[in-house]
């Protein structure tokens, strides 16, 4: 899942490639016309693969008691345009991450597939492994590429799964080390795995590890949300996203979550307008 795509997310533990639309979208959001704001950026030097996560070890996961409340308080005080969105939705709901290896495996399997097709393949994969509790590096390495192809996993994805499992087996990665790495180090290490790109790592940090200060500059939904919220003429690039969302630190993950909610609300409003 290396390339940026539009996705709708809630901060739940599920496959980050094709999660369901949030059911908490409210019709309270008012979309008023705003004066277009121009930011000075050099678009020729921006990149969607910029490392944008700079949380420090002192920051606790958003699943820690009270962290969501702290995030919402900070965002409401630091960004007057974002504040109304905070009152239009229920706070993000968080489920624990049972295993980083399992989450990364699931992420690879769900890459660039329709939700139903991905779920079907994932179910068959779990059957091969004798359940989620048995999804570990040794089990994955025991499944040959032909065996994986029998359940619908492409040869390329099979190589991605094997590369991830091999890096676990040789000690390059482990669930413990992943939980201990800071965001920048984690991004660098995980993008060394075949088939895992920056967008995938950002989604993993957001939805599995609940890191508080991740700005997925390559996600089209978040970029469109920022464009809409701030009345920008053009879709913001990576550097511009960094500049605009600086005020959200150290809770850019939560700000990003509200960008997905904003775009869902706009989509629902446009759909209703067409029916009227």
The answer on pLDDT for 14 being more than 80 is no
Mean of pLDDT values over 223-227: 98
pTM of the shown model: 0.79
Q: Tokens representing 143?
A: 């499944």
Asked if residue 254 lies in contact with residue 86, where contact means CB atoms within 8 angstroms, the answer is: no
> Greater confidence, 273 or 239?
239
State the DSSP string of the chain: --S-------SSSS-TTSPPPPS---TT------PPP-----GGG--TT-------TTSPPTTSTTHHHHHHHHHHHH-TTTHHHHTTSPPPP----S-HHHHHHHHHHHTT--HHHHHHHHHHHHHHHTSGGG-SHHHHHHS-HHHHHHTT--HHHHHHHHHHHHHHHTTS--HHHHHHS-HHHHHHHHTTSTT--HHHHHHHHHHTS--SS---TT-HHHHHHHHHHHT-SS---HHHHHHHGGGGTT-HHHHHHHHHHHHHHHHHHHHHHHH-
CA distance 201 to 47: 16
The band of 94, judged by pLDDT with boundaries at 50, 70 and 90, is confident
The answer on pLDDT for 257 being more than 60 is yes
> Greater confidence, 22 or 246?
246
pLDDT digits 0-9 by tens, 53-86: 444 445 899 999 899 999 999 999 999 999 999 9
Residue 58's pLDDT is what? 57
Which are the contacts of 87, defined by CB distance < 8 A and separation ≥ 6?
Answer: 28
The answer on pLDDT for 13 being more than 70 is no
Mean of pLDDT values over 151-177: 97
Q: What is the mean pLDDT of the chain?
A: 83
The band of 16, judged by pLDDT with boundaries at 50, 70 and 90, is very low
The answer on pLDDT for 101 being more than 70 is yes
34-43, 63-72, 92-101: range with highest mean pLDDT: 63-72
């Amino acid at each position: 899942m290396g390339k940026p795509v539009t996705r709708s997310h809630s901060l739940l533990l599920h496959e980050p490639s094709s999660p369901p639309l949030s059911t908490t979208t409210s019709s309270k959001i008012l979309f008023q016309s705003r004066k277009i704001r121009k930011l000075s950026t050099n678009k020729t030097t921006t990149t969607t693969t910029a490392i944008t996560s700079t949380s420090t070890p002192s920051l606790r996961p958003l699943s820690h008691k009270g962290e969501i409340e702290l995030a919402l308080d900070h965002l409401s005080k630091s960004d007057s345009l974002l504040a109304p969105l905070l009152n239009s939705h229920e706070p993000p709901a968080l489920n624990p991450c049972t295993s980083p290896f399992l989450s990364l495996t699931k992420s690879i399997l769900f890459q660039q597939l329709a939700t139903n097709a991905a779920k079907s393949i994932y179910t068959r994969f779990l059957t091969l492994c004798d359940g989620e509790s048995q999804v570990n590096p040794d089990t994955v390495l025991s499944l040959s590429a032909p065996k994986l192809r029998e359940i619908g996993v492409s040869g390329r994805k099979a190589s991605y799964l094997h590369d991830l499992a091999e890096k676990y087996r040789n000690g390059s990665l482990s669930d413990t080390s992943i939980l201990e790495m800071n965001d920048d180090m984690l991004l660098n290490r995980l993008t060394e795995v075949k088939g895992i790109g920056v967008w995938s790592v950002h989604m993993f940090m957001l939805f599995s590890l609940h890191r508080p200060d991740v700005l997925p500059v390559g996600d089209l939904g978040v970029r469109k949300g920022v464009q809409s919220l701030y009345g920008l003429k053009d879709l913001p690039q990576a550097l511009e996203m960094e500049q605009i969302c600086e005020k959200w630190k150290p809770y850019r993950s939560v700000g990003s979550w509200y960008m997905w909610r904003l775009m869902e609300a706009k989509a629902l409003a446009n759909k209703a307008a067409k029916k009227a």
